[in-house]
């Protein structure tokens, strides 16, 4: 095990996969000479050259389409889109081509490509650069969408994504890049579609992903220390496929749940999780499923307003206490 940052885990994994398989190449804006807006690709142009690390014009639809064609012909492109907000410019290529080709052509062609892109607020980048719109892609059959919350998962899920024969979107929350954690030295790909119980507990289940999975753990530790509340935390890790079984099994054990998400409440990932809990654990629930999400507004640039709009550890703790209070009243 090695203690490294989330950023370093992504960099090292891409580098090792490029050494392992010469079909893997990187393509995107400013990933070569500038070494990436968030320095994930630092040093890779110098090591692998412009054939394997390809700088592109500011043309998301164009270079994403080029990567799809390359993948269909046997290469394994890793596309960096500078921010998930800019992926909207490539929406047709991702949704109508990458996600559909395998099915439309009866399995005669595959698209083994990765789209890795950061998202999330808290960095004062304004409303058009701070969105969590992974729901757009998790909604689409034919896509796989993963959301690592730790450096270890950043490595394991990126390994799985690069080696997968289907298009995979890897969501990287900006707030996680500098976080550190223990990462296995071995190259062990994750099982895409499998959630992780990151903290065992008996009193309540908290389901989250990406940055909010870290928030869930902080809330759980604080409640254990101050209130003696034993919170179980389920990190989804994968948004499509969604591991409903792990979530349902946890709620059947604890009998109540809170879902945390970093995007808007209406039509969010949390709505799908809550519906899955209702379908699979309704008779076990002692209180309604509560959801914590960001305010239903374009994210403000002002730091105090941005902080107020984003879900916090305190918001998670309040929702957990309210849910357990509802359980106590029923009993």
Q: Which pLDDT value is given to residue 248?
A: 98
Q: Which pLDDT value is given to residue 329?
A: 86
pLDDT at 102 over 80: yes
95, 226 contact by CB (below 8 A)? no
Write down the pTM of the prediction. Answer: 0.95
How do residues 192-214 score in pLDDT, each as one tens digit?
Answer: 999 999 999 999 999 999 999 99
Q: How far apart are CA 175 and CA 152, in angstroms?
A: 16
How do residues 295-326 score in pLDDT, each as one tens digit?
Answer: 999 999 999 999 999 999 999 999 999 999 99
Q: Which pLDDT value is given to residue 330?
A: 77
pLDDT at 275 over 90: yes
pLDDT at 328 over 90: no
Q: What is the 3-state secondary structure (H, E, C) of 19-51?
A: HHCCCEEEEECCCCCCCCCCCCCCCHHHHHCCC
Q: Which pLDDT value is given to residue 314?
A: 97
How far is residue 138 from each of residues 89, 94, 135, 156, 189, measured CA to CA in Å?
Answer: 17, 12, 5, 19, 21
What are the structural domains of the chain? 2-183 (3.40.50.970), 196-330 (3.40.50.920)
Catalytic center residues: 60, 129
């Amino acid at each position: 095990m090695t203690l490294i940052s989330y950023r370093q885990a992504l960099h090292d994994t891409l580098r090792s996969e490029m050494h392992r398989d010469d079909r893997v190449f990187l393509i995107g804006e400013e990933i070569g000479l500038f070494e990436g807006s968030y320095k994930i690709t630092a040093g890779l142009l110098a090591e692998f050259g412009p054939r394997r690390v390809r700088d592109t014009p500011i043309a998301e639809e164009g270079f994403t389409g080029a990567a799809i064609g390359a993948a269909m012909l046997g290469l394994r492109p890793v596309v960096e889109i500078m921010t998930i907000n800019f992926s909207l410019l490539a929406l047709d290529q991702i949704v109508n081509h990458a996600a559909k080709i395998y099915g439309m052509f009866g399995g005669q062609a595959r698209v083994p490509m990765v789209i890795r892109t950061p998202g999330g607020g808290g960095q004062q980048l304004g409303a058009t650069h701070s969105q969590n719109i992974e729901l757009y892609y998790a909604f689409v059959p034919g896509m796989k969408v993963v959301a690592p919350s730790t450096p270890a998962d950043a490595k394991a899920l990126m390994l799985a994504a690069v080696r997968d024969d289907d298009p995979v979107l890897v969501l990287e929350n900006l707030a996680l890049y500098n976080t550190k954690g223990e990462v296995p030295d071995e190259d062990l790909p994750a099982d895409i579609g499998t959630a992780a119980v990151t903290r065992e507990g008996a009193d309540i289940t908290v389901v989250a992903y990406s940055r909010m999975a870290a928030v869930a753990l902080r809330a759980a530790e604080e409640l254990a220390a101050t209130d003696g509340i034993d919170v179980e935390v389920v990190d989804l890790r994968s948004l499509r496929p969604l591991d409903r079984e792990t979530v349902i099994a946890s709620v059947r054990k604890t009998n109540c749940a809170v879902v945390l998400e970093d995007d808007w409440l209406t039509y969010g990932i949390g709505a799908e999780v809550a519906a899955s809990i209702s379908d699979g654990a309704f008779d076990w629930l002692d209180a309604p499923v509560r959801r914590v999400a960001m305010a239903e507004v374009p994210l403000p640039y002002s730091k105090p307003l941005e902080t107020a709009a984003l879900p916090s550890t305190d918001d998670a703790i309040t929702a957990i206490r309210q849910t357990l209070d509802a359980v106590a009243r029923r009993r």
